[in-house]
Structure 1
């Protein structure tokens, strides 16, 4: 049966194996997964922080990739990701290769969350080729016979869980293994530099506004966190050095939640900043105007945490 989006999508270049395996430049095995003996790496990609969807249940009948994988079928993970594709020996079956990985992963402490073979992977559908599309969105020509396995496994550890998705497929010339590996970890925060009074003044003079990320609130709260004090001191220093300066203190939220609710939350947060500057730092209240913009003025898409973090901010606007 011909495929529109097939297992071969994960298996580039199905030509004969060279006499000596040669890995793609800059590639390497993942230390917790390894490779099947006699294989070579033909594709290698990594990302320090990414969002990856892994298939966690059989694909429903007649569901066609590249449609988005439904929430109830996927395991969505954030963390360091690896995409590795191996071309292995032609005289080894997909089942044998998968069984070796299963044994090795179990010995390392991995738990198999989902495993399937051929048509088991697609809830009774006679074609299982689209399975490859959910592991990798690269389209390639080719067709592999009724010899495909898929395995999703997890290693739980204090440093962060590791998930491995393995797709093994057999062709006439080789047995290919496509891996997606995700090392879960929190996004690296504190990447927005602290802004002092001099930098605030420069931003106001050049652009009429400056974005601040040093004023922090807990989720859905309006109380200013103690670690915000250094930034509040710098705002006070800025205003004390320029007695004629008047500012709009604008609260911004990310795109999560209802528009009207976020509008009110941002207004209350802006008011809390004004009150802190007035009561704790002696700034006259009539020099500061609180304003809530909610989610209406993003600096980045709200599609991921990195973008949402950039949108959650307090801005000073020159009046």
Structure 2
């Protein structure tokens, strides 16, 4: 018995010391451990998935049978990585050994552990089917597909961990159920980040729709060098769309209107916005063969903002060029 205890203690020390960080075994699929989070010795990766942006919940406490939806939780969003591991049955490990080894590893890596629980049924310290409050059945059957019956776990010994470190939030579920010969565990990590919105590609149809509905259109995809009226090559596809729209409306005339944010003086921004409007008109006429008589360039600085100027996002929206129907 003493040898067995020392053997298990060795497992814990091995993980906590970081010696199994980023281990890759022959039975792994083509994937690696999440950086800075170790794996239980001899565990194999069975599933790996990543999403550049997702939203979720991090449980901070367990729930109860009486109020399953009532528990402390934290909303998380950002890059999401989910890894499913198998601990082969011939390791003779237990759920508690795996759970507490993982917990020791997280603490060694500087994570703050919020929830750590072990239960023989769903009515014990891990709450009442807590995992069903964290992920939907659809998500369980896809993102946790290789974790046998992850969504149910009604015939299992279950352990759970939740922890945070800086921008990273980790939720782990360890289980030995009747549905798998092995212990399995899931590592679900959110790395906080903002959603990177993609700018819509400007088309002549989009310009036509906006001008028809409101008499003007924001010319997205027009880029200038910093504090300059020099157009960049990134603007070419949008310039082609603008030229196509103006040529298709040969009997109409338009204003090309430059706008800025509120950084700098009024006169400076009037000059900058005028120079940028002039640059767009000049490029349309000289490079894209639009009739100059159809276009009048105007710079109005920051006197007609699209939104507030007290955030980076707002100022970016205010720095724009528009096309306005003249007649």
> TM-score of the superposition, structure 1-length normalised?
0.55
| Paired position in structure 2 for 1:88 | 87
Aligned with 2:161 (options 134, 144, 151): 151
Q: Deviations over 1:221-262 (max 9, x none)?
A: xx3679x99776322323466464258xxxxxxxxxxxxxxx
Give, in whole Å, the separation in 1 of the partners of 2:110 and 2:35: 14
Residue 323 of structure 2 is aligned to residue 317 of structure 1: yes
Residues 187 and 120 of structure 1: CA distance in aligned 2, closer, same or farther (over 3 Å) = same
197-206 or 32-41, which deviates more = 197-206
Corresponding residue of 1:203: 241
Q: Structure 2 CA distance, aligned partners of 1:148 and 1:309?
A: 50
Long gaps (5+) in structure 1: 1-19, 218-222, 248-272, 279-289, 295-305
Q: What residue number does 1:245 align with?
A: 295
Alignment match, 2:115: 114
Matched, 1:169 2:168: no
Partner of 1:52: 56
Counterparts of 2:103 and 2:35 in 1: how far apart (Å)?
15
What is the SS of the residue equivalent to 1:121?
A: coil
The RMSD of aligned alpha carbons is: 4.6
Whole-angstrom distance in 2 between the partners of 1:170 and 1:111: 25
Aligned partner of 1:182 in structure 2 is 190
Counterpart Cα distance in 2 of 1:43 and 1:190: 29
Q: Is the 8 A contact 1:232 1:277 kept in 2?
A: no
1:125-182: CA deviations, max 9, x gaps? 4x556367469812364745341111111123xxxx2221110011241111101112
Give the conservation status (yes or no) of the 8 Å contact 1:93–1:147. Answer: no
Verify: 1:38 aligned to 2:42, yes or no. yes
Residue in structure 2 matched with residue 234 of structure 1 by the alignment: 276
Structure 2: distance between partners of 1:113 and 1:135: 25
Alignment partner of 1:130 is 2:132: yes
Q: 2:73 maps to which residue?
A: 74
CA apart distance, 1:291: 9.4
Distance 1:93 1:28 in 2: 24
User: Residue 301 of structure 2 is aligned with which of 257, 260, 276?
Assistant: 276
1:54-93 deviations in Å (ceiling 9; x for gaps): 22332353667xxxx88x7432223332100001133322
Mapped to 2, the partners of 1:231 and 1:189 lie a distance apart of: 25
Gaps of 5+ in 2: 1-24, 142-147, 200-220, 225-230, 250-257, 286-291, 308-312
* Matching residue of 1:104: 105
Partner Cα separation in structure 2 for residue 81 and residue 115 of structure 1: 21
- Counterpart-to-counterpart distance in 2, 1:121 and 1:93: 17
Q: How many angstroms apart in 1 are the aligned matches of 2:137 and 2:75?
A: 12
8 Å Cα contact 2:259/2:302 also seen in 1: no
Q: Cα offset for 1:106?
A: 0.9
* CA drift at 1:34: 1.7
Describe the SS at the equivalent of 1:276: coil
**Structure label with greater radius of gyration:** 2
Could you say what secondary structure the match of 1:238 adopts? helix
Contact 1:115–1:150 (Cα < 8 Å) also in 2: yes
